[in-house]
Amino acid sequence: EVKAVFPHGLPCRFQQQIKTFNEACLMVRKPALELFTYLKSSNFAHPAVRYVIYGEKGTGKTMTLCHVVHHCTRQGWLVLHIPDAHLWVKNCKELMKSSYKEGRLDQPLQASVWLKNFKASNEHFLKEIKTQKTYVWGKQESTEEGRPLGEVVEQGLARTRNASDAVGVVLRELKQQCQRGSFRLLVAVDGVNALWGRTTLKREDKSPVSPEELTLVYNLRKLMMNNWNGGAIVTTLSQTGSLFKPSSAYLPQELLGKEGFDALDPFVPIPVPNYSPKEFESCYHYYLDCKWLQHEKGQCPAGMGHGGPGGGAGTRGGPTAEAAPLEELHSTVRIE
């Protein structure tokens, strides 16, 4: 199930942990629970509410986002997960001029990668949702009205030239159809401050590219507006991949800039702090359970010899393993 829900989007370290422990477990924390109550009690006739998760580096923003994504997938929402918006504004090998609009630039590689992952996570939705307009891709190729959205995605994957336009079509269709209420849409964007910053991309004549000239960013910005209803928008700010921002910046206004703040306003900010003492305890109890941490007074006499799967990090935990019991709030969620 992990592969189906998260073809992309889990942080690198967490993926290594999944591989090591053979199970995907994350800690239930207050920010995520807060978001769940908001989502549950939100009125889907009202315009979509934007939530911005912010916090210092390494406090668990991406993990909170993934938790929310998993929760909504379990409840049957359609999840539009963009793992890292920073990947779309930097290190782009191929930039093509857009055939649809003058002056815009396409990114075929990034668009096709994203389409592939989107297809993997939302197969059954793509069969049900039908297009509402005819889209002409080239001289002979076109998608008629009423065909399932999966065909648009196939078209984008088959012809990388049209991949970015295919992404734009998908986003537009989902936004329009969500208002009818047949499904709920969760837009989850990690690193949303990339959409309003600067890019490191240059055109062939070395002139810099601003974000709105990229088709992908332009279409995503349209989705971030709250002029649609029937879903929610959950985003994270991230300094780690951001461009031209100091490494101590973590507050919304610093990372989003004036443009971004005005575009997202009014939003609900959700701060994610570092682990509290109890959370830290439950975290290392989990590691002890998985035999990842080796203990000086190890339980079994061979406790020094074999650590967990793959050999543990030899830290000496201070208090012994019969410390305070875990509270229910900090129980771990096992994702099979």
Partner 1 sequence: MKLHAPPRTERMAVDQDWSSVYPTAAAFKPASVPLPIRMGYPVKRGVPPPKEGNLELIKIPNFLHLTPPAIKKHCAALKDFCTEWPSALDSDEKCEQHFPIEIETVDYVSAGTSIRNPKARVVTLRVKLSNLNLDDHAKKKLIKLVGERYCKDTDMLTITTDRCPLRRQNYDYSIHLLTVLYHESWKKEMWESEKTEEDMEEYTWENSCSQKNALDTLLRIKASENVSNVTKEELLASEVVKNYRNSVIALKNEGETENNMSQYKESVKKLLNIQALP
Residues of the shown chain interacting with partner 1 in the complex, contacts defined by CB under 8 A: 34, 37-38, 41-43, 45-47, 49, 226-227, 229, 251-254, 262-263, 265-271
Strand blocks (E) in 31-126: 49-54, 78-82, 96-97, 105-106
State the nearest-atom distance from the C-beta of 258 to partner 1, in Å. Answer: 9
Using the minimum distance from each CB to partner 1, give the nearer residue, 39 or 216: 39
Closer of 47 and 307 to partner 1 (Cβ): 47
Spatial CB neighbours of 247, under 8 Å, sequence gap ≥ 6: 57, 239
CB of 262 to partner 1, least distance (A): 4
- Which residue, 243 or 268, has its beta carbon nearer to partner 1? 268
For the chain, the straight-line distance linking the first and the last C-alpha, in angstroms and rounded, comes to 6
How far apart CA 165 and CA 111 sit, in angstroms, is 9
**Spatial separation of the C-alpha atoms in residues 299 and 308, rounded to whole Å:** 13
Decide: 153 and 126 in contact? Cβ < 8 Å: yes
CB of 47 or CB of 317, closer to partner 1: 47
15: left (phi over 0), alpha (psi -120 to 50) or beta: alpha
Least gap, CB of 268 to partner 1 (angstroms): 5
138 or 273, CB closer to partner 1?
273
**Please, what is the minimum distance in Å from the beta carbon of residue 56 to partner 1?**
12
Smallest distance from partner 1 to CB 42, Å: 7
